[in-house]
Amino acid sequence: MTSPSHVPVLLDRVVALVAPPLQQPGSVMVDATLGLGGHTEAVLTRCPEARVIGVDRDVHALERSRERLAPFGDRVTFAHAVYDEIPDVIADLGLDHVDGVLFDLGVSSMQLDVRERGFAYAEDAPLDMRMDDTTGLTAADVLNTYPVEELTRILKQYGEERFARRIAESVVREREREPFTRSARLVDLIRDAIPAPARRTGGHPGKRTFQALRIEVNDELSVLRRAIPAAMGSIGVGGRVVVMSYHSLEDRLVKQAFTEKTRSDLPPDLPFVPEGHEPELRLVTRGAEKASAEEIAENPRAASVRLRAVERVRTSTGATA
């Protein structure tokens, strides 16, 4: 098995955003997408009063992060769960709120770098793509069983693939000859289905299809749609939710959820906002922050990152910080 590398994206900026409420004794952050633990390691190092609950649906990532974070002892707790289950994880640990929640969305370094997981289109591998490879449909199952209309919808909606119908029709035709099991055959099919002029622009022709299959297999957008409000509801006053997303569909969901909670429920032309009608949260970042050219040069995976953060300023019942 190939060994994964891990360069955390926007490490210093992320720690700066989550750190303010983590300086107090007993403070707790949830790393909702623990992965190999790079961000959590930095938080535990730079915020010596803080504890972290590391959540991941990938049992292999949890094993690796346990090794990496062992020096921090009982300052880190591990949970095998999907990130929309954050409220349950917190409640099971006897907590009524936490002081921060961090999301680093999308596929992790480990999942991309370990060829056998089937996430990368650049190498031939089994078509799996499950973030939790102990349960659920694989990418091969999706390709071999979904009707052409559903495959087209997934490729168009999740991959923003212009040639979704052509690719879906080719998949359905070819699976009758032989079911799909490995990524190289799918990449060849995609390359043949996309017109030659389109193949010469926009990067690898398989990128959008592989993204769409991964999102479908892991139900990523539905999970995220539940997870962001759940995270915002789990932080106490002064607590922060920090989200890194890597494509427009994710970032749009995050932006909409943050906007809803940082906007007053009153008309914008009122001369003042009566007590109790102030927004529950405030935006910490101005729009979506991006990685610098220097970081992108050192870590190409940072090229598409969009970073947003909010802070709770009052409880839903009207108490303020």
Residue 121, annotated as binding a ligand: no
According to the annotation, is 39 in a ligand binding site?
yes
Q: Helix 59-69 vs helix 38-46: angle between axes, to the nearest 10 degrees? A: 30
Is 37 within any annotated ligand binding site? yes
Asked if residue 24 belongs to a known ligand binding site, the reply is: no
246 annotated ligand-binding residue: no
104 labeled binding residue: yes
Its sign, for the CA torsion 251, 232, 289, 48, is: negative
Residue 221, number of CB atoms within 10 A of its CB: 15
DSSP 89-146: HHHHTT-S-EEEEEEE-S--HHHHHSGGG---TTS--BS---SSTTSS--HHHHHHHS
203 is in an annotated binding site: no
Compute the CA torsion angle 168, 169, 171, 176 (nearest 10 deg). 150
Q: Which amino acid is at 165?
A: R
SS3 311: strand
Is 51 within 8 Å of 116 (Cβ atoms)?
Answer: no
The token duo for 206 is: 């398989």
Residues at the annotated binding site? 37-39, 56, 83, 104, 111
Residues at the annotated binding site for S-adenosyl-L-methionine? 37-39, 56, 83, 104, 111
